[in-house]
A and B are shown apart, each in its own frame.
Chain A
């Protein structure tokens, strides 16, 4: 086993968990606000496409980041309009958005870049990377703290920030209230729709950034469907963590670790399909564990 646990593995860990973490943080806010957002996959995908396009068009990672976030935001606003304001079912809207993202990014890839399947170019500038001076010198795991993208640090910073937002901020209180009982929130003079839209906006931004991590940091290219199920893993994390942000981080790291490990094992000759399937099997197992208390739900008296 120690064959795999080398510095390079830990060096690669953050780039695997960061996209999942960002999307799961956003999804957790939505869940707390009472929006069942399973369009994380699609939002991430349009973020990835837009970040690549922004970075390519201006040959700058800043615009890439901006485009990615803006595209995620736009997708989330679309979600909010059709679901929160027009009363559409969250699941149906999510399905629509996911298909739209898949088709739209493939369409634009061909219409704008004339490429089919994937597009890469030296004009796509990657995000800058930093390391943490003290921690990166720790043996073996120190790699996780060396030369990671801007977004890795942002994602880690967001964990305590969002936890504090929920616990200490009036917006956090209202957000939790919106998920518990929107009618009661209205009676308290707060519009749950506004709160939910705000939660979606944050979620959209984070998913857009998650996409940027994929297309202008992990690699500098865009592939059709490159979110490849990470959004669904994020949904699983959302379902099992119930907006406990530190737990979200921990679970995202575990999934990232499985991804990273799978990548290494692949290098050793294991068929790619097996390692690719691992996170989903893990997700099923983890959910079964998380839901074990929900079994036999004899309704609790209200």
Chain B
């Protein structure tokens, strides 16, 4: 690591600035009179909770949203971008949290789209462009093979493609939205080195994040946002993690206390399970796992290392090519989803809009799903409408969902409230096994604490919880044990006492993990 806080004279003329920018969505002031400067040769961290207005602010800077008032300046001139195209022309670049890539196109083609430098007849000189890209890669020490389709690359390499795109467009002001969310600790270190090189090259770098350790590690200056406002802006070395945290949240959120509620009985037993892909190697290979009643078992791993096949195999959405699954002592390998659910399986799906919820349907229609055929909600195939509506009302009440009633459509609710509907539905049946996939993605801090508390309560009641998460903090806070998936195999299982980000990170990157 280079020295994170080098003494260097800042070039005081800002590369870009936002002046008194505001933007409202309906009654909500997403950004409220925020001003900030972006200096060459500096890494600025913008921190805040979900919904604090960070992304809106950056979308305004990048020309994807017009401000209601205030303006953007680049190199001392007032500009009004009508689209990101204008922003790119003015020397801005942005790596979105959800990468803006074309999976079927090659790395080189991804870099060139929109910046082809075509001849007058429109032809693209791929050979010349390739040479230019290779030169840039050398300069910034990237390693990418330009002819591979991007869809086949691991996540950190895709991020490099995104950064390469900006460098190829000669961006001077570079914005990265939650760049570390998908990386292992080691990949994160490499990214930060790269950002350091960009800074030293005289570019302005902005990272948006809510991970405070990273702010302290990489940034030169930090700006804290809360509820659309700029709360504080300070050189990083003049502040501390706790100070930032207090300014960011503005209130105390008690994280639920974790106690060991493990019981003797085995809830879930997975023996030698493999899942095939349509072609290529197994998606999940000879995986064994055993969860006790009341245990929270965390699954860590870089996305795409077998989490999805594991979850789908347990839920019954994909067939096994080998192995056995038993739930509460009964073999369920050949049972379908409905039968497994009736035996006490609950599933909090990561893709809430399509898998977890029927978005266009009413709340009560969502809360009865999975139990619609049970005696609680039907008799001889006729729906019991009153009971169904009642179940919707109960979830709204017990989970503090901001909704007008069970007849409201789910699509009208916010992300956190949608997730509460799912958690409420799945936990209402008192399941014996809960499979939770990134349960706090994209929800605000309050809802996250609430969901964590409910999951722990389910475990205390005796349910086994399999928690798949890409957020190590979440895994460490809730799990009794954490298993690391790498390349479809279990690469080490760590008991709570041995949880350590760098050891787990090494296991996530495929190095030999621990065992317990």
- CB-contacts of A179-203 with B (<8 A): 180-181, 183-190
Within 8 Å CB of B100, what residues of A? 181, 183-184, 187-188
- CB-contacts of B93-113 with A (<8 A): 94, 96, 99-105, 109, 112-113
- Indicate whether B299 reaches chain A with its CB closer than 8 angstroms: no
Within 8 Å CB of A296, what residues of B? 278, 319
Within 8 Å CB of A173, what residues of B? 105, 109, 112-113, 116, 124
CB <8 Å contact, B96 and A187: yes
With contacts A181-B100, A301-B304 known, is A170 near B122, CB below 8 A? yes
- Indicate whether A293 reaches chain B with its CB closer than 8 angstroms: yes
| Mask: chain A, 274-299; 1 = CB below 8 Å from B; 0 = not | 00000000000000000001111111
Question: Quick one: closest B residue to A32, CB to CB?
Answer: B104
- Indicate whether A123 reaches chain B with its CB closer than 8 angstroms: no
- Indicate whether B85 reaches chain A with its CB closer than 8 angstroms: yes
Question: Quick one: closest A residue to B150, CB to CB?
Answer: A180
Question: Quick one: closest B residue to A184, CB to CB?
Answer: B100
| Mask: chain A, 66-91; 1 = CB below 8 Å from B; 0 = not | 00000000000000000000000000
Instruction: Name B278's contact: one of A174, A176, A293 (CB within 8 Å).
Output: A293
CB <8 Å contact, B113 and A177: yes
CB <8 Å contact, B114 and A190: yes
- Indicate whether B318 reaches chain A with its CB closer than 8 angstroms: yes
CB <8 Å contact, B96 and A176: no
Interface residues on A, range: 20 to 34
CB <8 Å contact, A176 and B104: yes
- Indicate whether A171 reaches chain B with its CB closer than 8 angstroms: yes
CB <8 Å contact, B277 and A186: no
Docked pose: A86 CA to B279 CA in angstroms: 39
Interface residues on B, range: 35 or more
Question: Quick one: closest B residue to A187, CB to CB?
Answer: B100
Within 8 Å CB of B276, what residues of A? 298
- Indicate whether B309 reaches chain A with its CB closer than 8 angstroms: yes
Docked pose: A83 CA to B156 CA in angstroms: 36
Within 8 Å CB of A168, what residues of B? 123-124, 126
Docked pose: A93 CA to B375 CA in angstroms: 43
CB <8 Å contact, A189 and B123: no
Question: Quick one: closest A residue to B158, CB to CB?
Answer: A302
CB <8 Å contact, A176 and B85: no
B126 to chain A, nearest CB (A): 8
- Indicate whether B115 reaches chain A with its CB closer than 8 angstroms: yes
Within 8 Å CB of B94, what residues of A? 187
Docked pose: A298 CA to B279 CA in angstroms: 10
Question: Quick one: closest A residue to B95, CB to CB?
Answer: A187
- Indicate whether B454 reaches chain A with its CB closer than 8 angstroms: no
CB <8 Å contact, B122 and A169: yes
| Mask: chain B, 8-37; 1 = CB below 8 Å from A; 0 = not | 000000000000000000000000000000
CB <8 Å contact, B113 and A190: yes
A33 to chain B, nearest CB (A): 12
Docked pose: A207 CA to B318 CA in angstroms: 42
Docked pose: A180 CA to B102 CA in angstroms: 5
- Indicate whether B475 reaches chain A with its CB closer than 8 angstroms: no
- Indicate whether B458 reaches chain A with its CB closer than 8 angstroms: no
| Mask: chain B, 70-100; 1 = CB below 8 Å from A; 0 = not | 0000000000000111001100001010011
- CB-contacts of B32-58 with A (<8 A): none
Instruction: Name A189's contact: one of B88, B105, B126, B278 (CB within 8 Å).
Output: B88
Docked pose: A295 CA to B124 CA in angstroms: 37
| Mask: chain B, 156-172; 1 = CB below 8 Å from A; 0 = not | 00000000010000000
Docked pose: A104 CA to B151 CA in angstroms: 45
CB <8 Å contact, B124 and A169: yes
Docked pose: A1 CA to B109 CA in angstroms: 49
Within 8 Å CB of A183, what residues of B? 100
B494 to chain A, nearest CB (A): 23
Within 8 Å CB of B64, what residues of A? 187
With contacts A173-B113, A174-B113 known, is A187 near B124, CB below 8 A? no
Within 8 Å CB of B123, what residues of A? 168-170
User: Which residue, A176, A181, A298, A300, has most C-beta atoms of chain B within 10 A?
Assistant: A298
Docked pose: A51 CA to B147 CA in angstroms: 45
CB <8 Å contact, A177 and B115: no
With contacts A169-B122, A170-B116, A184-B100 known, is A298 near B278, CB below 8 A? yes
| Mask: chain B, 300-337; 1 = CB below 8 Å from A; 0 = not | 00011100110010000011000000000000000000
Instruction: Name A170's contact: one of B99, B102, B124 (CB within 8 Å).
Output: B124
- Indicate whether B118 reaches chain A with its CB closer than 8 angstroms: yes
CB <8 Å contact, A171 and B122: yes
Docked pose: A168 CA to B122 CA in angstroms: 9
User: Which residue, A185, A187, A293, has most C-beta atoms of chain B within 10 A?
Assistant: A187
Within 8 Å CB of A185, what residues of B? 102, 113-114
- Indicate whether B484 reaches chain A with its CB closer than 8 angstroms: no
Docked pose: A122 CA to B109 CA in angstroms: 53
Within 8 Å CB of A177, what residues of B? 102, 105, 109, 113
Docked pose: A184 CA to B101 CA in angstroms: 6
Within 8 Å CB of A187, what residues of B? 64, 84, 94, 96, 100
Docked pose: A177 CA to B83 CA in angstroms: 18
Within 8 Å CB of A188, what residues of B? 84, 88, 100, 113-115, 165
A169 to chain B, nearest CB (A): 5
- Indicate whether B275 reaches chain A with its CB closer than 8 angstroms: yes
With contacts A170-B116, A187-B84, A295-B278 known, is A180 near B304, CB below 8 A? no
Within 8 Å CB of A297, what residues of B? 278
Docked pose: A183 CA to B115 CA in angstroms: 16
CB <8 Å contact, B103 and A180: yes
Docked pose: A163 CA to B226 CA in angstroms: 52
A277 to chain B, nearest CB (A): 32
CB <8 Å contact, A176 and B83: no
| Mask: chain A, 147-174; 1 = CB below 8 Å from B; 0 = not | 0000000000000000000001111011
Within 8 Å CB of B88, what residues of A? 188-189
Question: Quick one: closest A residue to B307, CB to CB?
Answer: A301
Within 8 Å CB of B308, what residues of A? 299, 301
The contact sample of 12 A-B pairs, CB cut-off 8 A, is A168-B124, A170-B123, A176-B109, A177-B105, A181-B101, A181-B103, A184-B102, A189-B83, A190-B114, A294-B278, A295-B278, A298-B312
10 closest residue pairs by CB, A with B: A189-B85, A188-B114, A184-B100, A180-B102, A301-B304, A170-B118, A170-B116, A187-B100, A177-B113, A190-B114
A170-B116, A188-B113, A298-B312 known; 4 other A-B pairs, CB under 8 Å? A168-B126, A169-B124, A173-B105, A295-B278
Using a CB–CB cutoff of 8 Å, the interface residues on chain B facing chain A are 64, 83-85, 88-89, 94, 96, 99-105, 109, 112-116, 118, 122-124, 126, 151, 165, 275-279, 283, 303-305, 308-309, 312, 318-319
